[in-house]
Amino acid sequence: MAIHRSPSDPCPLAGAGGRNHLVAKLGAAADLSDEDKNAVVDICSQVREIAARHDIISEGVRPDHVHIMVEGWAARYKMVDDGSRQITAFLLPGDFCDLHVTILGDMDHGIVALTPAKVAFVPHQVMQDLPLGRPELLRALWWATLVDEAVLRSWIVNIGRRKSSERVAHLFCELQARLKLVGLVSGDHFDLPLTQEIIADAVGLTPVHVNRTLQKLRELGLIVLRGGALTILDIDGLRDFAGFDPNYLHRGRLARKH
pLDDT at 10: 41
Q: Residues 129, 197: one domain?
A: no
When divided into structural domains, the chain yields a total of 2
Q: Which residues, 6 or more positions from 233, have their beta carbon under 8 angstroms from its beta carbon?
A: 188, 221, 222, 223, 224
Q: Is the pLDDT of residue 125 over 70?
A: yes
Please write the tens of the pLDDT for every residue from 86-118: 999 999 999 999 887 767 778 999 999 999 999
Q: Residues 7, 130: one domain?
A: yes
Q: Is the pLDDT of residue 121 over 60?
A: yes
Please write the tens of the pLDDT for every residue from 44-80: 778 999 999 999 999 999 888 999 999 999 999 999 9
Q: How far is CA 110 from the centre of its chain?
A: 14
Report yes or no on 192 lying in a domain.
Answer: yes
Report yes or no on 142 lying in a domain.
Answer: no
- pTM: predicted TM-score of the whole model, two decimal places: 0.90
How far apart CA 243 and CA 162 sit, in angstroms, is 9
Q: What is the CATH number of the domain that holds 62?
A: 2.60.120.10
**159 contacts 204 by C-beta, under 8 angstroms:** yes
Domain that holds residue 248: 162-257
pLDDT at 251: 78
Q: Residues 79, 37: one domain?
A: yes
Q: Residues 16, 65: one domain?
A: yes
Question: 34-42 and 135-161 helices cross at what angle (nearest 10)?
Answer: 70
Q: Is the pLDDT of residue 151 over 50?
A: yes
How far apart CA 241 and CA 140 sit, in angstroms, is 32
Report yes or no on 196 lying in a domain.
Answer: yes
pLDDT at 9: 42
Report yes or no on 152 lying in a domain.
Answer: no
Report yes or no on 149 lying in a domain.
Answer: no
Please write the tens of the pLDDT for every residue from 236-258: 999 999 999 999 999 755 544 44
Q: Is the pLDDT of residue 1 over 70?
A: no
